[in-house]
Structure 1
Amino acid sequence: MDSTLTALAGQIAQLDVVNSAQLERMRHEALTAQAPWKADYGAYQSGGWWTTSLMNASGDAADVTIGDCTAQPTGLLRQLPATSALLASLGLNFMWVRLARLESNAFLWEHRDYDELDQVERHRLHIPLHTNSSAFIVTGGAKVHMAGGRIWRLTPTCAHGVCNLLGPDRIHLIADVYADDAYHQLANRPTLHPALAERLPTADQTVLAERFGTARNLATLGYVDAAERMLLRIFYTFALPEGTAYDLITQLHASLGDMEAATRWETAKRRLLALVA
């Protein structure tokens, strides 16, 4: 693994293989279950991001706001025998387990997770169940397609964003786990296949100025939401300094004299990226 991939593997990496037959059974369960999908964390997404819980504090699958807890199975997990068996076989200390569905043309904006959960070491695992090549995560200035057949580890304290450009829906099992011997055994040989990671090009000031000009024209015509989304999506096309998309939106509103909106986006940047005010 070259130095670039080694650095990136600190943020996202493949861990263990999932048996293909069991993975197919889990995929079928996720696609056919009568799950109470919930749209939460609205400030973090474009719309089209849905989750439902398999293990959490309450045992209610509709309870999807993450927090430290002693996780227990929800009623939904008891309807998914293949998924339940896989989780049991890992022997991990689960904090929370979810199914997460991202629709086509949907985005999770640049953000950090776990900012309020810093007292105990914990890690996030992904098992892709249903995906496509236009679904990828951006972190560390690169885009990575989380291919099926593996357990992946994501370091969510690094700024990252997710998109599904063309569909079909991307469905992942996401498990937040506490660090223990079982976790360290699972994660002791992280890898990242070069074919799955692509370094994004750097955007020079000319490119950013052109995008900003187009967004300003849209906003002037009254298409403010479209202008904001166009700037937010730059994160998925270019390797940018952290928070650049939010800074551009703040500048957009300031240039139009809407200081209330500019302040709102400054605040959003601090919240989404877990920055100290």
Structure 2
Amino acid sequence: MIVCAKVTVFPEYALMLQEVKSASPHWDNHFNSGNYEGNWKVLPLRSIGGQNTIIPGLTANDIFADHPNLDMFPSIRKLLAAFQCTVKSVRLLNLAAGAVIKPHSDQELSFEQGEARLHIPLITNPDVAFYVQDERITMQPGECWYMNANLQHHVTNGGKTDRIHLVIDCEVNTWLRDLINSADYISRRPAYSQQQLLDMICELRNQSTLTANQLADEFEKQYDQYCPLDQILSFLQEIGLAYQLETIEEDTFLPGLKMRNGALVIDTNRLLYPGDVLHEAGHLACMPPGTRQNMNDKLEDCDMHRGGEMMAIAWSYAACIFLKIDPEIVFHPDGYKGAGQNLIQNFDAGNIIGLPLLQWYGMSYDKSTAAASGHQPFPHMISWTCLNQPFE
């Protein structure tokens, strides 16, 4: 499931901005008055039948047409003409300084369900906080972003200027699918947690129909991706890294996972990727004992922890090889800024990020050092946890 994507669309931003600033249109208050505080206004550019309505759509059979307001913005009309898909509602949305859009979802408005909402910021400021689920999306003026509006999202304009976005709803076809899948940046996450999948599989099996069993088969394929979790937890116990299974109420950087006083806290109902447990365990394992016991979620931005990230990458790859699990469980498409596959390829080619630091800590050796000392080289680990205190 795609959360958001920065797509390659190049609007004539300077011209659009000039047209927006010079126009004197009549803005209407957003129709969904219970979902915001402050001022949130709408200017329709394409609407149902081209009529003077601010509602983006009511049914799948709605026919959209250009609204007379579009005549004020030739550059936007030109952009829409270049879209090789069906364009539905098009609006300018103005969120005033200090205004808040409350958490809400726009049902069935997502790429996977056949309709995609694109945002192009025309006027914004650094204090606009746009969240989809627990992920903050920072959109720069003139960029084009797909946002999964079916997921819960909310916005706060904490700046001193209004925020104006061009918002375009489109039907997904081959052209739009290729555009989004080839985006410069894509944030993905599984549609369901491990527990949700298990519950749905059980319910579908109880129905015992052909269609239900076929759907259960598909969910079981997704569930199988979680199976390494028990193996990972047993491994952590064997090497002496502490973890605790409990409910996590707050949002965390990695859903269902955080560090607390040198131990991992894991919420299996919210955990999206079991491989994330192994990566975070690497952060703990690669730090000296005195440092490890004080590690919490908000790590200090310093050389030690920046180096710790590189060591955790190498450590978790070595753990995958040791446990005989697919490295893609850790280096999945939604992590490492989309570079997980590239990291695996580099490891396979012998280009090992983080190995010099592991060697400095006495945890693993490169080929030449290993040969001289009588040890096996990386990915073999001499010690799974750091026992030295090299920073003292």
What TM-score do you get using the length of structure 2 for normalisation?
0.44
Please report how far the alpha carbon of residue 193 of structure 1 lies from its aligned counterpart in structure 2 after TM superposition. Answer: 8.7
After TM superposition, give the deviation of residue 52 of structure 1 in Å: 1.1
Q: 2:138 aligns with which of 137, 140, 145?
A: 145
Q: CA deviation at 1:118?
A: 11
Larger radius of gyration: 2
Q: Residues 120 and 178 of structure 1 are in contact (CA less than 8 Å); yes or no, is this contact kept in structure 2?
A: no
**Aligned match of 2:92 in 83, 99, 102?**
99
| Contiguous gaps of at least 5 residues in structure 2 | 188-249, 256-392
How far apart in 2 are the matches of 1:153 and 1:175? 9
* Secondary structure at the counterpart of residue 175 of structure 2: helix
Partner amino acid for 1:12? C
- Residues 12-54 of structure 1 deviation map (CA, whole Å, 9 limit, x = unaligned): 22001425xx111111222222222111210110021111110
**1:50 alignment counterpart:** 41
- Taking only aligned residues, the RMSD between alpha carbons, in angstroms, comes to 2.7
Aligned to 2:128: 135
Instruction: Give the Cα separation in 2 of the matches to 1:109 and 1:14.
Output: 23
Q: Map 1:4-15 onto structure 2 (within 5 A).
A: 10-15=2-7
Structure 1 residues 182-218: Cα deviation after superposition (integer angstroms, max 9, x where no partner): 2113212134399xxxxxxxxxxxxxxxxxxxxxxxx
Counterpart in the other structure of 2:22: 32
> Given that residues 109 and 150 in structure 2 are in contact (C-alpha distance below 8 angstroms), is that contact kept between their aligned partners in structure 1?
no
1:239 aligns with 2:239: no
Amino acid aligned to 2:172 = A
Secondary structure class of the residue paired with 1:123: strand
What amino acid maps onto 2:38 in structure 1?
A: G
What's the offset of the Cα at 1:88? 0.7
Q: Deviations over 1:75-129 (max 9, x none)?
A: 0102211111011112321120000001111110000003599996111001111
Q: Displacement of 1:166 after TM fit?
A: 1.2
Could you list the structure 1 runs, at least 4 aligned residues long, displaced by more than 3 angstroms after superposition: 115-120, 191-194
- Opposite residue 11 of structure 1, the aligned amino acid is V
Q: 1:119–1:13: structure 2 CA closer, same or farther, 3 Å change rule?
A: closer
Match among 5, 10, 22 for residue 18 of structure 1: 10
In structure 2, the partner of 1:178 is 171
Partner SS state of residue 35, structure 1: coil
Native 8 Å contact 2:5 2:145 kept in 1: yes
TM-score (norm 1): 0.61
Cα deviation 1:43-68 (Å, max 9, x = unaligned) = 110021111110111313x4111214
> What amino acid is aligned across from residue 50 of structure 2 in structure 1?
G
For 1:190 and 1:143, locate their aligned partners in 2 and report how far apart those are by CA, in whole Å.
18
Identical aligned residues as a percent:
25
Quick one: higher RCO (CA 8 Å, sep 6+), 1 or 2?
1
Contact 2:80–2:87 (8 Å) recurs in 1: no
Aligned equivalent of 1:73 = 66
Q: Which runs of 5+ in 1 are unaligned?
A: 1-6, 195-237, 242-277
Seen in structure 2, the aligned counterparts of structure 1 residues 43 and 30 have a Cα distance that, compared at 3 Å, is: same
| d(CA) in 2 for partners of 1:114, 1:27 | 31
Distance in 2 (CA, whole Å) between partners of 1:155 and 1:74 is 25
Count, aligned residues: 187
Where 1:127 maps in the other structure, the secondary structure is: strand
Question: Are the structure 2 counterparts of residues 120 and 72 from structure 1 closer, same or farther at C-alpha, using a change threshold of 3 Å?
Answer: farther
CA distance in 1, matches of 2:49, 2:111: 22
One-letter amino acid of the counterpart of residue 92, structure 2: L
What corresponds to 2:118 in structure 1? 125
